[in-house]
Amino acid sequence: MPQQPVAYDLHLHTEFSPDSTTPMAVYAEAANQLALHIGFLDHFELAFLDRTDFLNYDMVPQLLEAFDCVHTDYPQTSIGLEVDFYSDLKSKVAEFCDDYRSDFDYFIGVVHTVDRYAVTVLEEMENLVAQLGLREVLERYFNEVEGAIQSRLFSGIAHIDSVMRFVPLFPGSTELTSLWYTRTKELCVLCQKLGVLIEVNLRGLNHPWKQIHPAPSLINELIPGRAKFYVGSDSHSLSEFQTAIPTLMQMHAFLVEHDSLGLPEALQIG
């Protein structure tokens, strides 16, 4: 029986993501010293397979081979993918998940874009808001996340309200607080209903949003309804991972205390 880790971080980006250069073994060695279980969760974005810096079908075997080498030395590791959901590519996303599900411990669904503009990149968010208006961007984003949850393709949903990352920088953002809160809570309740895990994502703390995703007030509201969460630092470097560890441990302990920790099926012990 494997030893129970002191905490889990199921969202780490490695050199197989376009926005990270950190090898798996570097994270694994640091996590091993603290008895943490870590999950590698690199991006897979079907809409951007033509970009050479993005993970594509040809690179998946390399990713899996690299993980196998690390996992041999560091058993408290797992391999997942952060799979972008696109409503217009739903059948292709489903086909990919079906084809590769047995190769990975879990797939986590995510929405990064509206009309192929990244809401998590300030310049692209600015373009979106200029074209559509802030309210419409939020509405389209939350509708797409709902589609990801309804698809039932994923063990969990990452940073469920990440569209809010840069929202405080835009005029009129305070008037949309109710929209954000209502829609995010609805989506979390839907996850609870369908047995989809909700990620407590720490990356929002590093942006103008200055909150985790979803916000602590929402987590507290959802716990009595038996919603299940896991924690992901969403680190893209070793320094980010090390900085996130105290908050990660605190959130993990909070979820355990309230019997609200959930793990993908492949990671469950006993």
Span 216-227, average pLDDT: 95
**Domain contains 220:** yes
3-state secondary structure of 189: helix
Examine the pLDDT at 101 and tell me if it is beyond 80: yes
Span 151-163, average pLDDT: 98
Span 55-69, average pLDDT: 97
**Domain contains 145:** yes
**Domain contains 118:** yes
Exposure string over 12-39, b if 16+ CB within 10 A, otherwise e: bbbebbbebebebebbbeebbeeebbbb
So what's the pLDDT on residue 1? 37
Structural domains counted in the chain: 1
Examine the pLDDT at 25 and tell me if it is beyond 90: yes
Higher pLDDT, 2 or 227: 227
Span 136-148, average pLDDT: 98
pLDDT per residue as tens digits for the range 32-58:
999 999 999 999 999 999 888 899 999
Give the amino acid at 181: Y
- Domain residue limits at 204: 7-267
Give the amino acid at 234: D
Span 101-110, average pLDDT: 98
**Domain contains 1:** no
Examine the pLDDT at 131 and tell me if it is beyond 80: yes
Q: Say which CATH number the domain at 205 has.
A: 3.20.20.140
**Domain contains 166:** yes
3-state secondary structure of 24: helix
Q: Name the band, by pLDDT with cuts 50, 70 and 90, for residue 269.
A: low
So what's the pLDDT on residue 2? 54
So what's the pLDDT on residue 4? 85
Please give the Cα distance from 251 to 245 (Å, whole number).
Answer: 10
Examine the pLDDT at 228 and tell me if it is beyond 70: yes
Please give the Cα distance from 223 to 99 (Å, whole number).
Answer: 34
**Domain contains 40:** yes
**Domain contains 2:** no
Instruction: State if pTM tops 0.85.
Output: yes
Number of helices (H), then strands (E), in the chain: 8, 9
